[in-house]
Structure 1
Amino acid sequence: MLPLAILSLGLAGLYAVVTFVNLSIFRAPKRDPAARLPAISVLLPARDEARNIGPALDAVLANRDVDLEVIVLDDGSTDGTDRIVSERAAADPRIRLLRGDDLPKGWAGKQYACDRLGRAARNEILFFVDADVRIAPDCLSRMAGHLEARDLDLLSGFPRQRTETLAEKLTIPKIFVLLLGYLPLPFARTSDNPGFAAGCGQMMMVRRAAYERAGGHEAIRFTMHDGLLLPRLLRTSGARTDLIDATPLATCRMYETWDEIWSGFGKNAAEGMAKPVALPVWTLLLGGGHVLPYLLVPLSILTGNGLAFLVSLAALVLVFSARLATAIKVRQSLISVLLHPVGICIVLAIQWNALVGAGRGRRSWRGRSYDAG
């Protein structure tokens, strides 16, 4: 038991060290009132978003101190999304509506919509944002100011994730656990290696020139994980990218039910963790560092192994303190912290299910199906 306790301590220590280092520099950009900001094209792909599109547009149009246009591409909605946007466009000349056409072979739906939006945009700064994201009134000015001040080509960040059901609280917060616990931000910001580039597909701001030079969404037309691949694509072309704390700038409710969570995380898995070489490593890191300490502490008490108890307790304290610090930083529920190992097991189950199912059948998302492999 002692060797397992030592292993768990090492893995928990790795997670805790990276987390606390990242938290020390993971900040939202400040607004410089004197900064001259470029005009921004806000680009919204929408497929059956009648419930979201109105509030999303309200949030965008409430942004201050920026010159903007808003383009919505209705991607074959059947719930009246296009009607809502059309009515809003008639009342506000800043809004334009594009209508989707047949999806070309080899394209994922969102990437084709974003490609068309990028081509239709008139401004030099493009802001891709999902319809379920609600940006704050100073979001665009703060992000554009940071983009200009740091001479960046792409800037992204994860909004604060709203979680209301137990299913959401168990799983959604793990996005920040993986980001802040295993991506060394100091190195990611100084390295030219595309492998250290990361972003969030829910909201990304990019310079048109760098976007077009890299090939835009057409170069990643096959993917369902644009938040990962678009920053890597740009960095490969020599562009500068960064990832910020966007929790003060926007909110999002990603998924609401178990089915949505399972299919939503599963659709991206094959392009992220769920690879034959990577997933066993992730299982060791997450299972050994986040679940094992919670098992070894009571087990060592039952068996009377005092040294194993002390070592595994130290591991538990490390992982719990880092997890709690993350929750405080990005405003997550206490339940997500207390049930953290349960959530880790669920996330790993989703990833292993995706890996085992890779190459068999097809993935489905938003009424469309795609090759599983």
Structure 2
Amino acid sequence: MITALLIIWLVVVSIQLIYIFFVYSRTAFYRQSYPSTVALHTNSPGESTTPGITIVVCARNELENLTELLPLLNSQHYPTFEVLVMDDRSTDGTDQFLENDIADLRFIRFIRIDKEHGHITPKKYALTIALKKAIYSIVLLTDADCRPASTNWLSEMVAPLLADTKDITLGFSPYEHRPGFLNLLIRSETLFTAVQYFSLALAGRPYMGVGRNLAYRTSLFFANRGFYTHINVTGGDDDLFINEVATSHNTAICINPNTFVWSKPKETWADWKLQKRRHLNVGKYYKLSNKLLLGLLTGSHVLSWLLALLVGMVVLVHEFLHRSFSTHEWLLLLVSTSFFIARGLIFWSVVGRISYRLAHTVHWAIMPFMDLLLAAYYGLAGTKTLFKRRRQRLYWR
């Protein structure tokens, strides 16, 4: 029994080491190959040949956020762009603000959506209309509660699309640091999710992006019928779409700090749980190959810690009962424990370096605690999915 347990533990820890060495390390040591800012070429004085960009913001009852965000977007350093605000049935005065108070923001325009359509979820309808009405052929998406880190966010996020034959740029959106355990959990999950989707994209297996910071060509959207295959799924306007259309050849990542888009985190457990329900609701629609790859990654992470606990309990029981291990059991125990310790130290080093590159999302010193915290979180979340209650309707805002 102990032999089988140790062999399984050794296998799952080895799987984790493979992921860390050959997948996560790609992000840890990635060198941005695109220019830090877009070269603004001109054919003649005053005539820019740099393609225009449409920034899209879908908002519902986000008046306070829009008053802060729109001036930041309007001041982006780029020769030709527009900011298209999709006002989705807002009742908080957003329409009056957009009609009367943005005259001095020369790059801002808006479209009002007055009713909901039963054949498509509201967020996807708003985005689809935005892409149809966009003046330019490249769109950069963000949310109303987000704030770009710099005035070069636009130019540097679209640089891969202008400098290479890429159709998609995956960006990073960290959450603001707040006191409390919930905020630590949110930041830890955000970091580790970014580690996964950036690293797998660099490994040629892109599977998702985040709509708070995502750029792609409108031609890619319409060539793949937009959100047609998941038109009635709440959420998925970012990750399910990218899951369908992203390939090893058309996807780039951008981890330049200038391109980060800071988001406001949920501040109550109830709001956070609702957000997680939306995310879990779309994960089951991923491609089978992606689900298997992510399942192996997450499962080995959880099991490496769970089996460490079980092995520790077995050792304590043996000591309590004054039983001794055989020679090969001692050898397996030594090797497995060494692999587990090595895995923890390497995880600390590699993911800690990524965290450093991604706006110090989680402090390097508490990386081992984050490692254990995520294993417990993923284990509990996975267990909960086995005992789902009757699904309630989910809303994007």
The equivalent position to 1:332 in structure 2, one of 338, 341, 361, is: 361
- Contact between 1:133 and 1:202, CA under 8 Å: does it hold in 2? yes
Alignment correspondent of 2:185: 170
Q: Which amino acid aligns with 1:185?
A: A
* 2:200 maps to which of 164, 171, 184: 184
| Aligned amino acid, residue 345 of structure 1 | A
**What does residue 350 of structure 1 align with?**
381
Match of 2:118 among 79, 85, 105: 105
Match for residue 69 of structure 1 among 76, 82, 96 = 82
Provide Cα deviations, 1:186-225, integer angstroms capped at 9, x if missing partner.
432xxxxxx6343222122222233222223455423312
Change (3 A) 1:209 1:310: closer
1:1-373 matches, within 5 Å, as 2-17=6-21, 18-25=23-30, 27=32, 29=34, 30-35=36-41, 36-135=49-148, 136-164=150-178, 165-181=180-196, 183-188=199-204, 196-218=206-228, 220-223=230-233, 224-235=235-246, 240-245=250-255, 247-249=257-259, 250-272=261-283, 281=296, 283-289=298-304, 291-292=305-306, 295=309, 302=316, 307=334, 309-330=337-358, 331-334=360-363, 337-340=367-370, 341-354=372-385, 356-357=387-388, 360-366=390-396
Taking every aligned residue pair, what percent have the same amino acid on both sides? 20
**Alignment partners' CA distance in 1, 2:386 and 2:162:** 40
Structure 1 residues 351 and 7, CA gap change in structure 2 (3 angstroms):
same
CA contact (8 A) 2:53 2:81 kept: yes
What letter corresponds to residue 200 of structure 1 in structure 2? V
Deviates more, 1:137-146 or 1:204-213: 204-213
CA deviation after TM superposition for structure 1 residue 11, in Å? 3.2
Distance apart, 1:255 and its partner CA: 2.6
Q: 1:293·1:316 contact (CA, 8 Å) conserved in 2?
A: no
CA shift, 1:333, in A, is 2.6
Taking a change above 3 Å as real, the CA distance of residues 218 and 102 of structure 1, as seen in their structure-2 partners, is farther
Looking at structure 1, the residues matched to 113 and 135 of structure 2 have their Cα atoms a distance apart, in angstroms, of 19
Deviates more, 1:43-52 or 1:299-308: 299-308
Shift of 1:309: 4.0
Conserved in 2, the CA contact under 8 Å of 1:75 and 1:99?
A: yes
Structure 1, unpaired ranges of 5+: 189-194, 368-373
Alpha carbons of structure 1 residues 9 and 213: separation in structure 2 relative to 1, 3 Å:
closer
TM-score by length of 1: 0.82
Secondary structure at the aligned position of 1:79 is classed as: coil
Report how far residue 44 of structure 1 moved. 0.7
Task: Structure 2: state its 5+ residue gaps.
Answer: 42-48, 320-329
User: How far does residue 137 in structure 1 lie from its aligned partner after superposition?
Assistant: 0.3
**TM-score scaled by length of structure 2:** 0.78
Cα deviation, residue 57, structure 1: 0.9
Shift of 1:109: 1.9
SS at match of 1:160: coil
Rounded Cα–Cα distance in structure 2 between residues aligned with 1:202 and 1:21: 23
The answer on whether the counterparts of 1:197 and 1:228 sit within 8 Å (CA) in structure 2 is yes
Q: CA deviation at 1:8?
A: 4.5
Root-mean-square deviation (CA, aligned residues, Å) is: 3.3
| Structure exhibiting the larger radius of gyration computed from Cα positions | 2
Number of equivalenced pairs: 358
Deviation (angstroms), 1:68? 1.6
